[in-house]
């Protein structure tokens, strides 16, 4: 696969997707992951109730507030936040294990989480903000997903402006008009970021061997 099968040893990166709820980041994340063997999803811990079709350990680790606070107080999260009245957190262990293997970690987290990860791991972080084509389309997508009751849809729409106001804190911004086009754009960003010289940690040895010591 172009750009996805690098031969040079490289340092894994932390690829963060944020957006207002319903803009499409989970859908795009799924599509990226199914075609990329070098990227692993960071499965978050949450206190939100499970939606139909979601499974424990794949979409989220669903826990009680008591368990969430125990993990938080035990420093098991790389970042955590309260989003729409529920707690969400990124377990540190999977992230560190994956990066150590030279693979990338994909995060589907909000702006609060993105800011926290930037603070602790700025060099490894690449942040992409996904915008919807319009407010009307955002609401349409939230309803089309048909997984949340009306009051939840309203609550998420009410918070959309607050989330979108953080767009300028991101490295890249994609307006998600068309899924296939957005997926291609995301993949282009990923491939270019993987090729950054500082991430290709095996390059120096290869070049040294080619040009010799003199
Ligand atoms: N470009 C697109 N065109 C049309 N529909 C889309 C597009 N992208 C995503 N969708 C649809 O919009 C709905 C919401 O997408 P998704 O669940 O991925 O949003 P999200 O940003 O992850 O939301 P949340 O933050 O709540 O998890 C889904 O039904 C998805 O299929
Ligand atoms: N800061 C974090 N935000 C997270 C995390 N996991 C998910 N999220 C964000 O929460 C909202 C709602 O998600 P939903 O699955 O309930 O629709 C969305 O913006 C996610 O990106 C996390 O670990 N930390």
What digits encode the pLDDT tens for the residues 191-211?
Answer: 999 999 999 989 999 888 889
Answer yes or no: is 4 a known binding residue: no
Write the residue with the smallest CA distance to atom 8 of ligand 2.
Answer: 109
User: Which ligand 1 atom is nearest residue 156's CA?
Assistant: 26
Tell me, what's the pLDDT at 122? 83
- Once rounded to an integer, what is the mean pLDDT over residues 38-43? 96
Average pLDDT score over the chain: 92
Which pLDDT does position 212 carry in this prediction?
Answer: 78
* Residue 49 labeled ligand binder: no
Is the Cβ–Cβ distance between 107 and 29 less than 8 Å?
Answer: no
Ligand 2 atom closest to 83 (CA) = 10
What global pTM score does this model have? 0.94
Across 66-80, average pLDDT:
98
| Tokens, residue 199 | 């991430």
CA of 207 to the centre of ligand 1 (A): 44
pLDDT for 185 equals 98
What is the average per-residue pLDDT within 66-85? 97
pLDDT score recorded for residue 1:
46
Pocket flag, ligand 1, residue 46 (CB < 6 Å):
no
- The C-alpha atoms of residue 140 and residue 73 are separated, in whole angstroms, by 39
Q: Does 148 have pLDDT greater than 80?
A: no
Q: Mind listing the pLDDT tens digit for each residue in 89-136?
A: 999 999 999 998 889 999 999 999 999 999 999 899 999 999 999 999
Return the percentage of the chain with pLDDT > 90, whole number.
76
ipTM for the assembly: 0.97
């Amino acid at each position: 696969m172009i750009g996805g099968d690098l031969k040079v040893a490289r340092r894994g990166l932390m690829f963060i997707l944020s957006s207002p709820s319903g803009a499409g980041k989970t859908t795009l994340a799924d599509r990226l992951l199914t075609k990329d063997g070098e990227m692993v999803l960071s499965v978050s811990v949450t206190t939100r109730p499970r939606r139909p079709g979601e499974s424990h350990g794949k979409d989220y680790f669903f826990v009680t507030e008591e368990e969430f606070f125990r993990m938080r107080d035990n420093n098991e999260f790389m970042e955590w936040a309260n989003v729409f009245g529920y707690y969400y957190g990124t377990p540190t262990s999977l992230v560190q294990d994956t990066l150590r293997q030279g693979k990338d970690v994909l995060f589907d987290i909000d702006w609060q989480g993105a800011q926290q990860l930037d603070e602790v791991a700025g060099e490894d972080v690449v942040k992409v903000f996904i915008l919807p084509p319009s407010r009307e389309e955002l609401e349409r997508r939230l309803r089309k997903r048909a997984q949340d009751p009306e009051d939840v849809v309203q609550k998420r729409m009410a918070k959309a402006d607050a989330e979108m106001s953080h767009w300028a804190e991101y490295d890249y911004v994609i307006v998600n008009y068309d899924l296939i086009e957005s997926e291609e754009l995301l993949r282009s960003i990923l491939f270019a970021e993987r090729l950054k010289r500082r991430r290709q940690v095996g390059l120096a040895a290869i070049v040294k061997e080619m040009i010799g010591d003199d």
